Amino acid sequence: MHIALDRTLVLLIEHKDLMFSFIDYMDQNQRKDIPEQVFTNSMIAKLTGIVKRNDAERLKDAFDRDNLIKSGIISEFNKSRGTIAFQPAVIEIFRLFDKERVKGLRSAELENIRVQLDNTLQQHQGLSFSIDNIAFLEQRDHLFDLLRQVNSQIQNNTEHLEHEADRLSKRLDHDQAILTLGESQQVREVLLQVKQIYDREIIPTLEFLNTREYSKVKAPLLLIDEISRLYDIRGFEDDSYYIDQYKLSILSHYKAVEKVRQTLQRYLHQERQHRLTYNAIEKAYLNLQALAKSTFTENLKERFIFKLLAESELYFKGLKTYSSAQDSKIEWHERNHKLYFDEYLIEQNARQRSESVAKVVSFDNKQNPDPNNVLKRQIRTLIEQCDIKPPMDDLYAEIHNYLVDNLAEHYQLQYLLYGVSCYKQRVKKTAKLTVCFERPQQKICYKNKVLEYNKRELN
């Protein structure tokens, strides 16, 4: 069943998503046609999604491959390659429905326009300008067609670039931070797209629209200028005026494209920064890898990179190595710590000769118990048996005198602290101990040692 072109087109427009999917496939794969399989699969998917039976039947007939060929929507069906190509004009119509799918002009297309304009100029230069000259009239028609086409293409291109800049900016300027590697990968891809559009579409367009820059080949707008001048000289002022109007119309897009360029500049800088970081890391990595390889010997123990990596290349050169022994332990208190001073035992003249007479001692193999423990036990017993009772003016002095009397030559000043501690234990429930902070502190000197302490009164 054959359905007319207009009705088929209307149905296609009503179901734009189908054509959009074909356009997307072609753009993504940079092709001008689609495989027959893709066409069939998309068609089946579309038809199965339609609930009403009548509608489905209608679409099935309209979107039938043979019907599309007959109506001229499919311009080429290559059986051997299994590909389908749509009429370019139809594709262009659908691109216009969605700005995102409008194709920008790239270097090759812009160059093609320039060549066409150059050819037109050459053709005009060899013509005699007369309304009776059919060749001239044909060339004039062709020129205006071309100017109209260029103007429309540049306009579409500008809209496409503005839309792309807007789309990419929105994707890059979202408020959410990049929190995952996946998100970062997407942002990086968008940045690459920015770079691609900038290099392949924006810069060529700006060059195309630039009338000032000197180049070996004539700029397109200068070519239009020359054609306009030809018409003017040969007495076709009206045509010359219209040509100038076209030129101005084309040129008016320069500002818009320049604005797009400035919008994308920021992201381009960001992309450049990433590229530089990437290159720098890559270079450092390759250098490190080369050093690691060059240290390779059969003896694995010798495989160290150390001597090869120049110290000047080390960023944290001389960084202090970790040392657990160097933890600082001193605590500084904001209050006067002197008030909390307990006792200081000072060694006096440590090198002074012992006053006692040298005695001959003999060694035996038996292990002696720690003399300090024996002495401590003795001190504890002595303190328990002593009859020192409160009140007393200076506990330290009392205990010291008592221990000197009872321990004789075994006594040393450091044992006084133990003695005091034992005595405190003994009387803690019955007596009250008061510390007196006096300057200078109390002192006891005994056998080259001095004990400085705060007096304790016992009541």
Could you list the residues that contact other proteins (CB under 8 A)?
A: 177-181, 184-185, 187-189, 273-274, 276-285, 288-289, 291-293, 295, 303-307, 309, 311, 313-324, 326-328, 330, 332
* Whole-angstrom distance, CA of residue 424 vs CA of residue 169: 81
CB nearer to other proteins: pick between 53 and 293: 293
CB nearer to other proteins: pick between 186 and 245: 186
* Whole-angstrom distance, CA of residue 139 vs CA of residue 342: 114
- Shortest separation between residue 278's beta carbon and other proteins, angstroms: 5
- Shortest separation between residue 439's beta carbon and other proteins, angstroms: 24
CB nearer to other proteins: pick between 249 and 295: 295
* Whole-angstrom distance, CA of residue 376 vs CA of residue 236: 129
Structure tokens at 187: 């942002």
Which amino acid belongs to residue 222?
L
Nearest CA to 227 out of 115, 136, 145, 118 is that of 118
Nearest CA to 247 out of 285, 211, 216, 297 is that of 211
CB nearer to other proteins: pick between 58 and 188: 188
CB nearer to other proteins: pick between 137 and 192: 192
Please report how many Cα atoms fall inside a 13 Å half-sphere around the Cα of residue 335, on the Cβ side.
5
- Shortest separation between residue 269's beta carbon and other proteins, angstroms: 13
Give the end-to-end CA distance of the chain in Å, rounded to a whole number. Answer: 125
- Shortest separation between residue 290's beta carbon and other proteins, angstroms: 10
- Shortest separation between residue 277's beta carbon and other proteins, angstroms: 5
Strands 83-86 and 449-453 come out as unpaired
- Shortest separation between residue 170's beta carbon and other proteins, angstroms: 18
* Whole-angstrom distance, CA of residue 264 vs CA of residue 271: 10
- Shortest separation between residue 272's beta carbon and other proteins, angstroms: 11
- Shortest separation between residue 356's beta carbon and other proteins, angstroms: 43
* Whole-angstrom distance, CA of residue 267 vs CA of residue 190: 9
Find the Cα–Cα–Cα–Cα dihedral 79, 83, 89, 92, rounded to 10°. 170
CB nearer to other proteins: pick between 309 and 407: 309
Which amino acid belongs to residue 390?
P
CB nearer to other proteins: pick between 212 and 320: 320
CB nearer to other proteins: pick between 48 and 323: 323
- Shortest separation between residue 202's beta carbon and other proteins, angstroms: 23
CB nearer to other proteins: pick between 214 and 332: 332
Could you write out the DSSP letters of every residue in 260-293?
Answer: HHHHHHHHHHHHHHHHHHHHHHHHHHHHHHHHHH
Structure tokens at 21: 């999917």
| Order of strands, sheet of 343-347, starting from the edge strand that comes earlier in the sequence | 343-347, 449-453, 442-446
Strands 83-86 and 343-347 come out as unpaired
